[in-house]
Amino acid sequence: MSTESARLREMIGQAGRIVGFTGAGVSTESGIPDFRSPGGIWTRYDPRDFEFSRYVEDPEVRRRSWQMRREFFAAAAQPNPAHLTFARLEREGRSPGVITQNIDGLHQDAGSRTVLELHGTAREVACIGTRPQHGVPRGCGWRAPWEWASERVEAGDTDPGCPQCSGLVKSATISFGQMLDEEVLERAAALARSADLLIAAGSSLQVHPAAGVPLEVLRGGGRLVVLNDEPTPLDDAAALVVRGRAGEVLGAVA
C-alpha cells in the first residue's frame, strides 16, 4: 500500500462524518464508457446530440438519444468497490450520504440510501413540456421509470410523448445547456459542508457548477481528499491527494 493510501486509511478511521463525491471514473470502473476517452460515447455519437436545445428542436436527435439509452442499460453494469465502500460507511452510521455526478444509479444498487444526483438519473424519464426554453424543462411534472420509454421505443414509437400533457419526454438527466436542479445543488452543498471528511473520487473536478461542491467541505471546517488517476484543479486545496483508480484504492483502503 502506498504512503498516500495508508494516510487515506488513517483519515477514514479518524473521521466520523464522511461524504463521498463521485465522478465518471467511478462509473468507468464498472464498465460504463465515459464521453471523451477512446471508445467513449463521443466516438459513436455526435457530441452536439447531448445539447438540450437540439433535443428539443430535432426529433431525429430524440430518436438517437433513446437508442443510446438502450445501449447504456444493455451493459448491465454492477457496483464496484468504490460504490460498496460508500454504502458500507452509510450503513455503519459514519456517512450521511454520497453526492454524485453520475447518472447510472449504481450507488443505490450498492445500498446507499442518501444519493444526491447532480446530473440527474438515467433510470427515469420526465416530461419537459412542449417547448422548453433557456435550458429549463417546463413539463407537467410527470415522471416514470426508464422502462416506460423503452417499451414504447421497442413497440415502434421513436419519439414517445407525455401521456398527461403530450409534451416532450426526456431521460431525467441533465444535458449540456440544461439547468441543474437548484434544490439538489443546494442540498449537495449543505451535505458537503456538514462533513468532516469529503472524498472526491474519480472526478476530473472540471465540470461546473458540480465541481465546486467539494470545496464546501472546507467552508464547514472539514478536510478534502482528492482520489483520481489524473491531476485536478482542486488538488492544491486538498489535505491529501491519492493517485489511482477509485475502486481499486478504496477497496484496498476501506
Which residue shows C-alpha cell 435550458? 135
Nearest Cα to Cα of residue 18 among 79, 103, 98, 73: 98
Three-state SS at 232: coil
DSSP assignment letter at 96: S
Q: Report whether 127 belongs to an annotated binding site.
A: yes
Sign of the CA dihedral 151, 157, 160, 164?
negative
209 upstream amide cis, omega within 30 of 0: yes
Q: Report whether 80 belongs to an annotated binding site.
A: no
Q: Report whether 77 belongs to an annotated binding site.
A: no
Q: Report whether 140 belongs to an annotated binding site.
A: yes
8 A C-beta contact, residue 20 and residue 201: yes
The residue from 83, 107, 119, 134 that is catalytic is 119
Catalytic status, residue 119: yes
Binding site, annotated residues for Zn(2+): 127, 140, 162, 165
Binding site, annotated residues: 127, 140, 162, 165
- Which residues are designated catalytic? 119
